[in-house]
A = this chain, B = another copy of it.
Amino acid sequence: MSIEDLLYKPQNSLVVQSLHSRLGAEPTNGDGFGVGWYGSTETPGVFRSAEPAWNDRNLRELAAHVASPLVFAHIRASIGSPVQQTNCHPFRHGRWLWMHNGYLDGFAALKRDLLVTVDPDLFPSIEGSTDSELFFFLALTFGLAEDPPAAVARAVGCIEETAQRHGVAFPVQMTVATTDGQTVWAFRYSSEGRSRSLFHSTDVSTLRHQYPDNPMLHGLSDDARLVVSEPLGDLRGAWREVPESTSITVRGGAEELHDFEPA
């Protein structure tokens, strides 16, 4: 499946969402974008830009010419951090990609303590200034490569504990997706219990049967799964909402849902 099929062709494609998000916290997501994909090299490719996704001609070229079994794509609405390439998602470390929809409340107050918590060997790899990238490096510090759900739970726990010391009530608002190129883990959680939307696609063969005329479905194999902040089209029955405080693991055409809580 080419990246173009994901970014441009669906009715409510990610590029359309960047101009007019229906469910997002911000209607306009024009503060940069990024795409990550796994190709022939050891580490994934990452294409990120600080300009609006809807204007980027190179994104359109890349999307038409790169095919990959696993693609991460993100559109950004900054709530304060500078709009620059190093602050665009997905973030990469080795074979891992990470993207975050949401924010860490009170981040200016928490940042110093959280930075110090990062493994000193990982510290020099932090390139940007966002809460989202620091969150990634906390998860790496807590063992993302060994046990992703446990590492994310510990990172969230660490953030909430730090926030408590600084008098920040509800520090974490997140949907997060991370991958090693084989498995995708996604999380929906917020300290306050009012998380942003997260959906996953249902079985593609069933959908193809129900909607024989939909071209996007024919570009997808039976194993394909999409995990998205907003449904990409109006196919009823195609999307299931991931519940609050839940993690979802997708691998080889199967998904599992588990409860998620900070450790």
Where the two chains meet, the residues of A that have a C-beta atom closer than 8 Å to any C-beta of B are: 19-20, 27-28, 30-31, 37, 39-41, 45-52, 54-55, 57-58, 61-62, 64-67, 78, 82-86, 108-109, 111-112, 115-116, 120, 123-124, 127-129
Contact = CB atoms under 8 A, between A and B. Distances in A.
Secondary structure dominating the interface of A: mixed
A65 B128 CA distance: 24
A48 B58 contact: yes
A168 to B, nearest CB: 14
Contacts of A54: 30
A52 B49 contact: no
A111 B82 contact: no
Given A19-B28, A28-B28, A55-B83, 11 more contacts: A20-B27, A20-B28, A27-B27, A28-B30, A41-B64, A41-B65, A48-B58, A51-B51, A82-B86, A111-B123, A116-B116
Contacts of A128: 129
A55 B31 contact: yes
B120 A112 contact: yes
Contacts of A27: 20, 27
Q: Which of A41, A58, A115 has the most CB of B within 10 A?
A: A58
A254 B137 CA distance: 51
Given A28-B30, A111-B124, A57 B85 contact: yes
A74 to B, nearest CB: 15
Contact of A124 (B37, B50, B109, B116): B109
Contact of A84 (B46, B67, B82): B82
Contacts of A120: 112
Contacts of A46: 61
A128 B41 CA distance: 30
B28 A86 contact: no
A39 B124 CA distance: 37
A192 to B, nearest CB: 23
A121 to B, nearest CB: 10
A57 B88 CA distance: 13
A86 B85 contact: no
Contacts of A108: 124
